[in-house]
Structure 1
Amino acid sequence: MSEPQILSLLPVRTAAQTDGSALGELDRATWSTLHAVQPRPQAPYEPFFDERHRPEDFLVAEAVTGAGEERVAGYLRLARPTPLACNAHVRQIQGLAVAEWARGSGIARALLRASYTEARRQGAGRLTLRVLGHNAPARALYASEGFAVEGVLPGEFFLHGRYVDDVLMGRSLTP
């Protein structure tokens, strides 16, 4: 099956409960040792949404393809890093995935920029994330969007026979 051509991107939106199946498929299709610390998901698959992963925590990017269909092209999970009141001004990106067929079309950047708006709407003044040290493409994207490395946990994960750093990045959401 050939990959669809993207005609246009739709505005990023908050996920709906009905997106669970498509987001689960996207999550499984984009699983990679470049960013995953958990094993590859195996059938039977858990529901994408649960008590800790609610639809309102996800931003969804859709694209209109050359065939005229709207397809989920990516998602970003935006959540509070802790339940503490003293940390309520921070939001954390806890997942970002873009379909292989949609890469290079600005989906990840659109999701990131939508997350800034959503985080500010929620009252956040700071946005953080964690990225594996060997994920150079993601680190470059985040740096180009104003994220700075704020810490490194050397050898935090042992993945596929080697130690991998956990890189902590953050940026201000205030002008």
Structure 2
Amino acid sequence: MSIYIRQTKESDSEELMDLNNLIWNKSNTPAFFYWESVEEYSKHCPVGKQFVAIINDKVAGYIGYKNPTGLKSNSHVLDIDIGVHPDFQRKGVGKALLNHVFSWGKKNGFVKISIRVLSTNRSAIQFYISQGFKEQEMLKDEFLIDGKFVDDILMYRML
């Protein structure tokens, strides 16, 4: 299986919207949302702020990136979010996306990658640990989801 990674294009928006609507739910994100239109999705996830993994001309996954604060003193940090289609999970797509952003981040002067993950998302936590991430901080009872408190874990990896 060949994985091609590139910057997002406008033509990816509908597939990315559908992927987001498929994979995100209250068990893995505190900001559960359902995109109703490509226009709505594109406002929140603009073209060029993600890399996509393409397999057989289909979007298999994506990794979004941004500076977490916009402050110059924090410009060495890259905050990421990642999503992989269920059909392609545990097949190297997430790892390929992370390796791509690690390389891209180094080339562009970033020295630290951070990601936030709910404590209930054990498989994601284990995946990030396997890719060299460490827990930086746990925000205890940060979210109230379906009547239950859930911790938010900030993880990081130095480049």
Kept in 2: contact 1:133–1:165 (CA 8 A): yes
Kept in 2: contact 1:24–1:48 (CA 8 A): yes
Within 5 A, what are the aligned runs for 1:146-161? 146-161=132-147
Partner letter of residue 60 of structure 1? Answer: V
TM-aligned CA deviation for residue 43 of structure 1: 3.3
Number of matched pairs: 159
Instruction: Provide the TM-score with structure 1 as the length reference.
Output: 0.85
Give the CA RMSD over aligned residues: 1.5
Q: Name 1:167's counterpart in structure 2.
A: 153
TM-aligned CA deviation for residue 108 of structure 1: 0.9
The ranges of structure 1 where at least 4 consecutive aligned residues each deviate by more than 6 angstroms after the TM superposition are none
Within 5 A, what are the aligned runs for 1:67-146? 70-93=57-80, 95-146=81-132
Unaligned 5+ residue runs, structure 1?
A: 1-7, 65-69
- Structure index of larger Rg: 1
Unaligned 5+ residue runs, structure 2?
A: none
Greater mean alpha carbon deviation, residues 84-93 or residues 31-40: 31-40
Q: For 1:91-137, what per-residue CA distance to the aligned partner results, in whole angstroms no more than 9, with x for missing partners?
A: 011x2111111112111111111110121122101111110011100
Structure (1 or 2) with the greater helix fraction? 2
Instruction: Provide the TM-score with structure 2 as the length reference.
Output: 0.93
* Identity level (%): 28
Cα distance in structure 1, aligned partners of 2:21 and 2:39: 11
The alignment status of 1:10 with 2:7, answered yes or no, reads no
